[in-house]
Amino acid sequence: YLNPGNTSCKACATNGREDIKNHALSPEDLGLPKPRFYSRYYQLDKATWVFILLGRAREEVKKNLLPEALPLYLEALEMALSIPHPTGILNSLNDLAWYLKEEDPVYALSLAKKASYYLGYYREDVENHLEVIHTLWEIQRITQDLQLCDTAIILNFLDKKLSRSQKRNFKECYLKMFQTCKTLNLNLETSFYENSNDLRTYLKKHILSLSNASRVSGISRSKLTNILKGKVKHIRGNTLQRLIKHLNLKIDPLTTPWPLIQEAKKLKIEAKLKDNLSSLKSLSPSVRIVLFISKTL
């Protein structure tokens, strides 16, 4: 033990500290790589470990090693869900969806939709987490997902909540997204459309045989001819729905003529309604009541 009153002892202590400083060289001083420690302590602290896993995954992505990054992202997601850790859940899902959008767009879309679900579940300030909505938008654009129209409705709502200062700081990709979504305003009550030149051009491109199109759709050959030649000035939604269903038209919500987008959306809603009714029929009456009450509260 050192005696505080003994000056010689104090001098020894001071000299000892100086010796330690001189010999405690950093790894860089010795020409060695800087060590990184992921101890068991961090694994016990799950929230910390989530961020460590995310950091390691992003480092692999920077090195173009996506296969090595994926298991780290999935481990981070699993751990974040077990806590639960909202920020970890959103970051894991959003990163996974973004980096997989070219490799596996269908799977990426399911991840982006989950991220959007958890965003709405955990966060009230959705406008401050536009990276999640932007990822969903981009993947829906790539996959030509008709629900992009629904995302546009959300974005148009958020646009009204954003301040001018927030918009000034937007990334270029966000500005483009908001500008595009303003053109996607569905009006599902409309069922009567102008037979525009754009619509006729699109239909001519996909109707390769009038006889075959008439046979599969149940629309007379003469009526189809009048539509394509522009002799019919307006076209009913029911007619467009027949063409969409029986010609298997691929609807792109950003390039397909608007009347076809609207009628395709109606078909999707009807199909979903039928699926839901079929699911309800398989449930007991008591479960149906509970489900109905939970959905309406």
41 CB neighbour count, 10 Å cutoff: 10
Domain boundary among 85, 117, 144: 144
Grouping H, G, I as helix, E, B as strand and the rest as coil, residue 251 is: coil
Check whether residue 197 and residue 118 sit in a common domain.
Answer: no
Whether 231 is in a domain gets the answer yes
Check whether residue 126 and residue 196 sit in a common domain.
Answer: no
Q: What is the number of domains present in the chain?
A: 2
CATH of the domain at 287: 1.10.260
pTM > 0.85: no
Size of the chain in residues: 297
Whether 73 is in a domain gets the answer yes
Check whether residue 202 and residue 278 sit in a common domain.
Answer: yes
Whether 12 is in a domain gets the answer no
Per-residue pLDDT of the chain (297 residues; tens, 9 = 90+): 334 444 444 444 445 444 444 444 444 555 555 555 555 555 568 899 999 999 999 999 999 999 999 999 999 999 999 999 999 999 999 999 999 999 999 999 999 999 999 999 999 999 999 999 999 999 999 999 999 999 999 999 999 888 888 888 888 899 999 999 988 888 888 999 999 999 999 999 999 999 999 999 999 999 999 999 999 999 999 999 999 999 999 999 999 999 999 999 999 999 988 888 888 888 888 887 887 777 655
- The pLDDT, as a whole number, for residue 61 is 97
Whether 38 is in a domain gets the answer no
Whether 161 is in a domain gets the answer no
Greatest alpha-carbon span in the chain: 114
Whether 181 is in a domain gets the answer no
CATH of the domain at 136: 1.25.40.10
Check whether residue 134 and residue 199 sit in a common domain.
Answer: no
3-state per-residue secondary structure call for 13-68: HHHHHHHHHHHCCCCCCCCCCCCCCCCHHHHHCHHHHHHHHHHHHHHHHHCCCHHH
Check whether residue 73 and residue 130 sit in a common domain.
Answer: yes
Whether 239 is in a domain gets the answer yes
- The pLDDT, as a whole number, for residue 68 is 97
User: In terms of residue numbers, what domain contains 281?
Assistant: 192-296
Check whether residue 135 and residue 199 sit in a common domain.
Answer: no
Domain boundary among 144, 162, 179: 144
How would you label 140-149 residue by residue, b for 16+ Cβ within 10 Å and e otherwise? bbebebbebb
Cβ-contact 95, 73 below 8 angstroms: yes
Check whether residue 138 and residue 204 sit in a common domain.
Answer: no
Whether 111 is in a domain gets the answer yes
Domain boundary among 144, 174, 203: 144
Cβ-contact 96, 53 below 8 angstroms: no
Cβ-contact 244, 267 below 8 angstroms: yes
Check whether residue 118 and residue 209 sit in a common domain.
Answer: no
Burial of residue 295 (CB within 10 Å: 0-12, 13-18, 19+) is: exposed
CA–centroid distance for 65 within its chain: 22
CA distance 255 to 261: 9
- The pLDDT, as a whole number, for residue 63 is 97
Cβ-contact 260, 249 below 8 angstroms: yes
CA distance 59 to 236: 55
How far lies 17's CA from each of 6, 10, 26, 29, 180, in Å?
17, 11, 16, 19, 66
Check whether residue 52 and residue 139 sit in a common domain.
Answer: yes
